[in-house]
Structure 1
Amino acid sequence: MSFAFTLPTTSPVNFTTSFASSSAPSLPSATTTRRALLRDTLKRYKRLTPAEQYNNIPSLLSSISEYLPYLYTLDAYITSQDITPLTEFETEWRAVLSRRTVPTEPPRIRRKGLDYEICFATATLAYAHTLRARTFLANAIQAPPPTDNDATNTSVHLINQAKDQILTAASIFLYLQNRSTTRERGSSQPMPADVTTSIYNALWSLCLASATLLAVLKDDPYPSIVALQHDKNSKEWMYKAPAVPTRVRSLLFARLCMYSADMAGKAAAGVAATPGSGAELKSYCEDMAKTARAKACRFQAIDAEGRGELGEAIGWLVAGKEVLGMVVGGDGDKGKLGRGLDMLKKAREERKMEKVPMEALLGSDAGRMEEAMVLNELERKWRRINDSVNFHAVPSTSSLLAKLPTGRSMFPENQTWTPPKLSSSELSQLQMQAPNGGELDWVGADDSDDDIMAPPESSMPPGGFPRSQSTGYY
């Protein structure tokens, strides 16, 4: 449940041609060196296979974290007028969130001003944290199921780590949103969608929606049904049913899911309102909003079933599938899934999912299909009981959807990221060094064309919900 951002690449930049400092003579050259290292890391990351990219994310995070203190210190020196501008600073980044007019990669866009560099470099850090969250989710797929004597649940621990990474990304996007509203851009040209206030606000909303769903996921037993379906050799479902949440927790989960749906819907609207933004991100936000709303319906169904209202519970399940766009017909039928789910199952059989690398097990629809499968399993079970024992009437979905609760936030919405800066000891060292004191060795490192794409070892769709043949938590 995290979007798979494509990391941008950038052209070389030499800060010493644009800035000079008498108080810290080596700061521009040291910043140039750290940026060249980051640029080289991004180019090498792009050329890796998908499996290698996932393993390389910690190194990438380290490179960005080493560069940003120099960049933000340079920005602070400019603000305090300890830096003398020599020429107008320009930088060039690939706009990965902007609309593509051709099937090839989006072009690099050059703009003036240090703020353009700061926004792209800082957003890249947030993208990397989101990709790191996907790594934790992929590892959670393959974690072994906890035993009765196991004091720790590896899957839950990994999901918590993924949630923390998403929250860090949210705080970075909130910082960029606040910065973009208070700082004047150095260029009079229109900015790409990647560095607009509306996109930052949308990404912040999307991250909060994702983190909330992950918090629900770690206590949600029902997605394990999907994992059991993928493992034909597992017989665990015969003797170990999922632990059903209590009524109070079901209602709490429903409110958390509604909050996630609201935030994801806000993100989709923000992306749609941003000129030049790509359709891929908007589609993912819309899928997450549908998934979260359908989950809220499912938890309402669990609460109704716990009260003995099996007809109402079935109605909530049908309403959830209607939200997902998977229901054929109206309220009178039994809420059968459309052909989309059958096609998905057929595609999974053809791909032989047990042989697909774990990166390909991360879906691109924010868990929409998986939630539909869970709803379908519960409906099949409860309809069998209702048709043979209870005979409760199933209410209309329109009357139930009107009763959905309001959302409830779980995490603080004002948690903003603090830009890193060089320590006093590091600044003292730069103040004593002469400019260009061996710091520019990396400025031209790996200056070849970076449009070489990674070999298609496996598909890695953007964002989504873990899909697994494991009998673990999922």
Structure 2
Amino acid sequence: MPYPFALPTTSSTSLEAFISSPSHPALPLSATTQRSILRDALKKHKRLPPTQQAAHLGVVQDAITGYLPYALGIASAVSSGRIGEEPVTISSTKQLQTEWRLTLSATLPGREPPRPPLAGIYNDLAFVLQTLAYTRVQQARSQLQILYSSNIPSPDRRTAAIGSAMKYLLEANSIHNYILNLHTQDPASAPLDTVNSTQVALAALALAEATLITVLKDDPYTTAVIQARNKDDKEWMISAPSIPKVRAHLFARLGLCASDHAQRAAASLAPGIGVLDSSLLNYVDDLRRTARAKAARFLACDAEATGKTGEAIAYLRGARRELGLAPLEQDASKRKGWKGIKQTFAEKREDRKVEKGSDDWGLDAGKLEEARVLEWLEIKWVKLNDTINTQLIPPSEPLMAAMPSGREYHTPKPFSPPSLDASLLARLRTPIDHNQNAFIGDEEDSGDEAVSREPAVVPGAFPGAAVAGNSANAYY
């Protein structure tokens, strides 16, 4: 949590070959330079190991904000003949063609997603904006990662991380909504990654994640479970935390609101618009289930605080059913059999992913972490109910069907894109030297970035002999 979007890569494109500006001759040249810088940053980011990509997100963001004003300015000049308040003339030599990697499309295992040619400035602009949204989501992931590690952060650090992640997710939501307006200006067919239905789904997904993490700051149970499995923890004798009744009911309604947003995202990603990556579809469904299970857990906390332990246990069992988990056994304090070994192994594997900063941690939308909290609470409350309260446990289905409606927490603000200022536009009026070439980037342009750049050694050849390119498949 949130979803680990892969940043797309793009081809090397000289805008001077497609457009010219009699009023601002340096505009295509400067835009090409900024686009090449963005292309290099994306390619370098993809080749970094997952543990180093989080630190490189700032470089990618700077490259996007450097090229985005030029792309927006060219699009504005093409449609209205103005950039801001200044008239700008743009003439097209031929239709602009760019290439972007489709990271949301389903592909065969071991193969790169396709990088089809895209026509028009609006398709290029939509991918630049979508890459910025992916960058914001990745920055939110890097902030939330510290909350799930074995080293419990301080309350101030926890609050700051959640606030930053929330801000990034809300900005991603506003960017996806802004892309919807681009397609109303350019009715041409858009690729699967940027069609309207995908943008609606990604905007709803970002809002669902932003809503769900609002309860993390004041959710002591998740922190208690993380602390309980820390081998170096010395505070295991402290009693379980409690949540006031009003706060628990509020958190339940926030969880149900997040579930509604995730359901809207799942409906927008329904089959019919193309073949999407199955991991994204599974994540959206897991997020919906996790949000409803978290809401049921807070309603259980509300019931337990008022002395209704039997009803609280019923809510917990309904939450486990929402996650698709089997009921706990009678003696669940010790995991037994193959199922217990498998569950313990899955939890340890997820812990290692979080500690190492793997790019696929949290791919289950927090379902495994929520299952740990539910198991911890049910074992505790069942033991308490069997020894002290002795209340009947009602069926969970009527309770789950009667849960309250969701409550909105966020009011997303519209995206405010950067623009070219007046002083920069004045400099772009300068005539260009025909011997001056735009920066085309340091990275090689290849349709498959996964191909190794090292020379391939041919088996049986003389020592030191190597063949460049893809001749590693040569055999005798």
Asked whether 1:269 is paired with 2:267, we answer yes
Structure 1 counterpart of 2:33: 33
Could you tell me whether the CA contact under 8 Å between 1:16 and 1:32 is conserved in 2?
A: yes
Structure 1 counterpart of 2:421: 423
Structure 1 counterpart of 2:86: none
Match of 1:443 among 440, 453, 476: 440
Q: 1-side partners of 2:153 and 2:229: how far apart?
A: 18
Q: 1-side partners of 2:153 and 2:441: how far apart?
A: 51
Match of 2:95 among 88, 108, 123: 88
Cα displacement string for residues 394-437 of structure 1 (whole angstroms, at most 9, x for unaligned residues): 11111111111101111115x22122210111111111242668
Q: 2-side partners of 1:419 and 1:354: how far apart?
A: 35
Is the partner of 1:111 in helix, strand or coil?
strand
Structure 2 counterpart of 1:312: 311
Structure 1 counterpart of 2:63: 63
Q: 2-side partners of 1:241 and 1:176: how far apart?
A: 46
Distance 1:339 1:439, change over 3 A: farther
Cα displacement string for residues 283-318 of structure 1 (whole angstroms, at most 9, x for unaligned residues): 101000000000000000011011111100000000
Q: How does 1:197-236 map to 2 (within 5 A)?
A: 197-236=196-235
Task: Report the alpha carbon displacement of residue 218 of structure 1 after superposing the two structures with TM.
Answer: 1.3
Is the partner of 1:137 in helix, strand or coil?
helix
Could you tell me whether the CA contact under 8 Å between 2:228 and 2:236 is conserved in 1?
A: no
Q: 2-side partners of 1:288 and 1:354: how far apart?
A: 19
Q: 2-side partners of 1:369 and 1:423: how far apart?
A: 49
Task: Report the alpha carbon displacement of residue 348 of structure 1 after superposing the two structures with TM.
Answer: 4.5
Could you tell me whether the CA contact under 8 Å between 1:33 and 1:439 is conserved in 2?
A: no
Task: Report the alpha carbon displacement of residue 21 of structure 1 after superposing the two structures with TM.
Answer: 1.0
- Counterpart AA for 1:106: P
Q: 1-side partners of 2:303 and 2:451: how far apart?
A: 50
Deviates more, 1:8-17 or 1:427-436: 427-436
Q: 1-side partners of 2:74 and 2:275: how far apart?
A: 31
Task: Report the alpha carbon displacement of residue 327 of structure 1 after superposing the two structures with TM.
Answer: 2.1
Structure 2 counterpart of 1:49: 49
Could you tell me whether the CA contact under 8 Å between 1:26 and 1:430 is conserved in 2?
A: yes
The sequence identity of aligned pairs, in percent, is: 35
- RMSD over aligned Cα atoms: 2.6
Q: 2-side partners of 1:375 and 1:342: how far apart?
A: 18
Is the partner of 1:94 in helix, strand or coil?
coil
Task: Report the alpha carbon displacement of residue 363 of structure 1 after superposing the two structures with TM.
Answer: 1.9
Deviates more, 1:152-161 or 1:372-381: 152-161
Distance 1:126 1:436, change over 3 A: farther
Could you tell me whether the CA contact under 8 Å between 1:291 and 1:324 is conserved in 2?
A: yes
Structure 1 counterpart of 2:161: 158
List alignment gaps of at least 5 residues for structure 2.
Answer: 82-88, 453-476
- Counterpart AA for 1:366: A
Q: How does 1:298-309 map to 2 (within 5 A)?
A: 298-309=297-308
Could you tell me whether the CA contact under 8 Å between 1:304 and 1:313 is conserved in 2?
A: yes
Task: Report the alpha carbon displacement of residue 79 of structure 1 after superposing the two structures with TM.
Answer: 1.4
Structure 1 counterpart of 2:121: 114
Is the partner of 2:269 in helix, strand or coil?
helix
Task: Report the alpha carbon displacement of residue 156 of structure 1 after superposing the two structures with TM.
Answer: 1.7
Structure 1 counterpart of 2:376: 377
Could you tell me whether the CA contact under 8 Å between 2:150 and 2:227 is conserved in 1?
A: no
Task: Report the alpha carbon displacement of residue 352 of structure 1 after superposing the two structures with TM.
Answer: 7.9
Asked whether 1:323 is paired with 2:322, we answer yes
Distance 1:435 1:246, change over 3 A: farther
Q: Which structure's CA Rg is the greater one?
A: 2
Q: How does 1:256-405 map to 2 (within 5 A)?
A: 256-273=254-271, 274-328=273-327, 342-349=341-348, 353=352, 356-359=355-358, 362-405=361-404
TM-score with structure 1 setting the length: 0.87
Cα displacement string for residues 167-191 of structure 1 (whole angstroms, at most 9, x for unaligned residues): 11111011112322x12244xxx53
Q: 2-side partners of 1:4 and 1:92: how far apart?
A: 22
Q: 2-side partners of 1:300 and 1:334: how far apart?
A: 24
